[in-house]
């Protein structure tokens, strides 16, 4: 085998050609969007108690189809998964002074959503094998102020629904499932996103299926769904004229306690989403094939292991996660992965993101300035230091050791597994790993 100098040391790269641009958008979406444009009706919502309070034909049809696909009673479309989480926390009636248990290893809004209602995010640690919230750690964080848990099906794998839902029943907590990264994943035959009281999906540009921006909230609870629809569309104005009995729920308290936003999805996005929904299974199958192919190739490297899959689950691999053993390798993970990335090229049209292989995922969220400085609205420290909050805040480094270990030393993610990549593309990725492995001495 010829010994080449590593690209990071000035040698030739394994691959100069950019990876092909992968997009789930095809002819069907273009046709659907064009028809909406031709109709001239790009949105048909009215922010008042009126039949158009629920949006136009594409929006309503999408919600029906989404609910049917996921086998839930209600789907509420919004303009992002962030908005969907804000609707979910608001629908649940979370208030200032409440605590909500959240994960440190997710997109930031999975942890910051309670703050929109003046509630306090309390971080639990994650599972070593599956990276989702650890039920044992959750139980340690429950206090008399705890009202809800926001779980995330991180990287495409469902949370431990059996254990966490059981805890929720025991302590009377609401569970909100962030399934933004897990559309089509399953837990014991049931879809991720439908495992909790409410679930949310994302349709942003980086997710399995997308509409540019968009989100969907699902629930089987009539009142939670109706409250989410109110928050989506100017609740405070609409409440004045709508019949209140539709919204009464003892456990939530008042039915006026909803500040409305404009989180409405347009007809264009809804039309595109309807087409995307039809393709999700096919995309997930292709994605899984790519992940299995690449994982098998990397499994010969003694210091790299695929993270485990939760038994009984269908994982949809937003990104496959690998564990890097720095001791066996004799080199730091970051140095190794940087050398691998130097052997490859970016994806076409996404050049500014660099090579799509990352060390760690997001910095443990409690280390973000909003928690470290405990400032989020204005300058007086609300809601962290408000008189409503009687608990003890804790956002110090070391809070979630499993998360910190994975992030800073162990984990790396390969985004280059999307449908549309060829075996040749995946072979090049594996070859970059092999080349750095063969030439470890150069690092």
Q: Contact residues for ligand PLP (CB under 6 A)?
A: 80-82, 106-107, 109-110, 152, 178, 180-181, 202, 204, 215
Residue whose CB is less far from ligand PLP, 212 or 302: 212
As given in the structure block, the two tokens for residue 428 are 């090049």
Residue whose CB is less far from ligand PLP, 105 or 117: 105
Region class of 189: left (phi > 0), else alpha (psi between -120 and 50), else beta: left
State in angstroms the smallest separation of the CB of 17 from ligand PLP: 29
State in angstroms the smallest separation of the CB of 416 from ligand PLP: 18
Residue whose CB is less far from ligand PLP, 181 or 194: 181
State in angstroms the smallest separation of the CB of 181 from ligand PLP: 5
CA distance 285 to 297: 19
- Nearest alpha-carbon partner for 159 in 202, 199, 113: 199
Residue whose CB is less far from ligand PLP, 80 or 359: 80
CA distance 345 to 351: 8
Residue whose CB is less far from ligand PLP, 365 or 402: 365
State in angstroms the smallest separation of the CB of 98 from ligand PLP: 21
State in angstroms the smallest separation of the CB of 334 from ligand PLP: 23
Alpha helices in 161-266 (DSSP H): 161-171, 222-232, 235-238
CA distance 428 to 18: 11
CA distance 321 to 130: 9
As given in the structure block, the two tokens for residue 241 are 């004229």
State in angstroms the smallest separation of the CB of 154 from ligand PLP: 6
E strand intervals along 18-124: 74-78, 99-102, 120-123
Residue whose CB is less far from ligand PLP, 106 or 137: 106
123: β partners: 102
Residue whose CB is less far from ligand PLP, 29 or 178: 178
110: which residues sit within 8 A by CB, 6+ positions away?
A: 85, 102, 103, 150, 152, 178, 365
CA distance 206 to 183: 13
Antiparallel, parallel or unpaired: β 321-324 and 411-414: antiparallel
As given in the structure block, the two tokens for residue 252 are 């939530």
State in angstroms the smallest separation of the CB of 175 from ligand PLP: 15
Residue whose CB is less far from ligand PLP, 8 or 400: 400
Q: How many residues does the chain have?
A: 443
State in angstroms the smallest separation of the CB of 183 from ligand PLP: 11
Residue 383, preceding bond cis, omega within 30 degrees? yes
């Amino acid at each position: 085998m010829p010994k080449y100098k590593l690209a990071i040391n000035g040698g030739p790269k394994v691959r100069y050609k950019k990876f092909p641009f992968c997009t789930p958008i095809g002819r069907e979406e273009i046709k659907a969007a064009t028809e909406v444009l031709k109709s001239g009706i790009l949105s048909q919502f009215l922010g008042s108690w009126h039949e158009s309070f629920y949006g136009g034909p594409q929006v309503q049809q999408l919600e029906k189809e989404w609910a049917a696909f996921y086998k839930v009673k209600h789907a509420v479309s919004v303009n992002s998964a962030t908005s969907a989480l804000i609707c979910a926390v608001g629908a649940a009636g979370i208030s200032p002074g409440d605590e909500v248990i959240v994960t440190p290893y997710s997109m930031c809004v999975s942890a910051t959503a309670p703050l929109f209602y003046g509630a306090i995010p309390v971080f639990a640690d994650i599972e070593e094998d599956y990276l989702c919230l650890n039920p044992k750690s959750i139980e340690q964080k429950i206090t008399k102020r705890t009202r809800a848990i926001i779980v995330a099906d991180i990287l495409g794998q469902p949370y431990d629904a059996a254990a966490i839902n059981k805890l929720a029943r025991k302590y009377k907590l609401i569970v909100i499932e962030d399934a933004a990264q897990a559309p089509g994943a399953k837990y014991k035959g049931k879809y991720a996103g439908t495992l909790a009281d409410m679930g949310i999906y994302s349709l942003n540009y980086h997710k399995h299926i997308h509409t540019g921006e968009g989100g969907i909230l699902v629930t089987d609870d009539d009142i939670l769904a109706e409250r989410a629809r109110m928050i989506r569309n100017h609740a405070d104005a609409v409440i004045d004229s709508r019949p209140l009995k539709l919204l009464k729920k003892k456990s939530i308290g008042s039915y006026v306690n909803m500040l409305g936003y404009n989180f409405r999805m347009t007809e264009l996005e809804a039309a595109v989403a309807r087409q995307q929904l039809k393709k999700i299974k096919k995309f997930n199958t292709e994605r899984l094939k790519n992940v299995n192919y690449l994982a098998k190739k990397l499994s010969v490297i003694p210091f790299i292991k695929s993270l485990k899959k939760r038994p009984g689950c269908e994982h949809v691999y937003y990104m496959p996660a690998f564990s890097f053993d720095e001791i066996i390798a004799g080199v730091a993970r970051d140095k190794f992965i940087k050398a691998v990335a130097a052997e490859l090229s970016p994806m076409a049209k996404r050049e500014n993101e660099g090579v799509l292989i990352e060390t760690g995922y997001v910095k443990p969220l409690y280390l973000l300035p909003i928690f470290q400085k405990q400032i989020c609205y204005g300058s007086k420290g609300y809601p962290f230091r408000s008189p409503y909050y009687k608990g003890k805040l804790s956002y110090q480094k070391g809070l979630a050791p499993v998360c910190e270990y994975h992030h800073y030393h162990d984990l790396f993610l390969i985004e280059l597994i999307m449908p549309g990549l060829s075996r040749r593309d995946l072979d090049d990725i594996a070859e970059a790993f092999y080349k750095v492995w063969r030439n470890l001495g150069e690092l």
